[in-house]
A and B are shown apart, each in its own frame.
Chain A
Amino acid sequence: MKGVYLLLLLLLPMLSAAAPAETGIKTVVRLIESRYSVHRHGIPALWLAKPFLNSATGGGGGVKIEEFSGLHISARDSEWLRQHIPASLGPDWHPFVEEWSNRDGEWSFIYTRSKGQHVSMLILTSDEEDGLTAVEMRVSDQNMAEWLDDPIQSAKNHK
């Protein structure tokens, strides 16, 4: 029996190394931190707001938010992120909507992932006032149908 435990102990690191790491908001945060030499800001007491946030996502839930409040990347300079985020997220995530304004410098990149019964959305948005914000959330069926109905307007409404 000891031998089996020993074998499992030896195999465990190999199995975890073989399993592809799940990508998402943390992947994007790491990419931004390394590219722009900045650190994210967590949102204090986010758990208090989560019931409201879950409601805002149509009950999808699983909301994660990271902020880079001092980081302003203009729409034109966002091209680097636009090129590199899909590669860092890997094949599970699909670019869905990219929207930017050359007038006020605001932009949003939106990616989706389908896993089991759930669809997640990863939204990266930047504006002059708030800086860069990354949000990952599960999307309800109703919300996803609305996004598909009019993705461009939905992206504008989200900002």
Chain B
Amino acid sequence: MKPNYSVALVVLAATLTAHGQKIQVPASWDKLAAKAQEVANVTLDKSMLGLAAKFMKDDNDQDSVEINRLLEKLNGIYVRHIEFKNPGEFTEAEVEPVRAQLQGPEWSQIVNVSDKNSKEKVVIYVRTVNGKSAGMVILAEEPTELTFVHLDGSIDLHDIDALSGNFGIPKDVHAPKANSEKPNPTGEKR
């Protein structure tokens, strides 16, 4: 019996596509990292999250209880942070390929906030599979810094508040207040 290579190729392509949806860190990030002054990667896979839960467990501390509840829902936290010496050393066009990789059918942009004064910008994307949250990506831009956070697992937008400031996730990233979760058409913080 002849092996059916075409079927195998289709299955392989489907597997790769599915894997591609489950994004960890876009390849285009490495190009930005190569020209940055300082680069940091934090990887917390499932096993490390189990370890983190153990070390952060404190039944008397409500924050700790909340973080532990969230860690159980996650498969991984991946943080990529780069710093440039001067503003203007990276362009929007260079960040665009990172965003482009978050435009598949499962991904939707739910937050887009920018601050004119500080020139900070936070964009949050959510991955939904069969109507359920399956991950989230936070892309935070400052004039000389870029941070990419991938929270892999069934996490909700409001869970970000508990996680921000831990595990390398920027502490100034928060869920928008009620009634402002839809993408801001002007993209500006009010």
Residues of A within 8 A of B (CB): 76, 94-103, 112, 114, 119, 141, 144-145, 148-152, 155
Contacts and interface: CB of A to CB of B under 8 A. Distances in A.
Given A99-B40, A148-B56, 18 more contacts: A76-B34, A94-B48, A95-B43, A96-B42, A96-B48, A97-B41, A98-B43, A100-B38, A102-B34, A102-B36, A103-B37, A119-B51, A141-B55, A145-B55, A149-B165, A150-B166, A151-B79, A152-B42
B56 A103 contact: no
Contacts of A103: 37-38, 85
A100 B81 CA distance: 11
B39 A97 contact: no
B23 interface: no
Contact of A148 (B40, B45, B167): B167
10 contacts: A94-B43, A98-B40, A99-B39, A100-B38, A102-B38, A103-B38, A114-B47, A148-B167, A149-B166, A152-B79
- Classify the interface of chain B: helix, strand, loop or mixed: mixed
B129 to A, nearest CB: 26
B81 A94 contact: no
Nearest to A101: B38
A144 B54 CA distance: 10
Interface residues on B, range: 20 to 34
B39 A152 contact: no
Nearest to B166: A149
Contacts of B167: 148, 151
A110 to B, nearest CB: 10
Contact of A144 (B40, B44, B55): B55
B38 A112 contact: no
Most chain B beta-carbon contacts within 10 A, residue among A99, A102, A141: A102
A119 B43 CA distance: 16
A147 to B, nearest CB: 9
Contacts of A150: 166, 168
A62 B79 CA distance: 29
B54 to A, nearest CB: 8
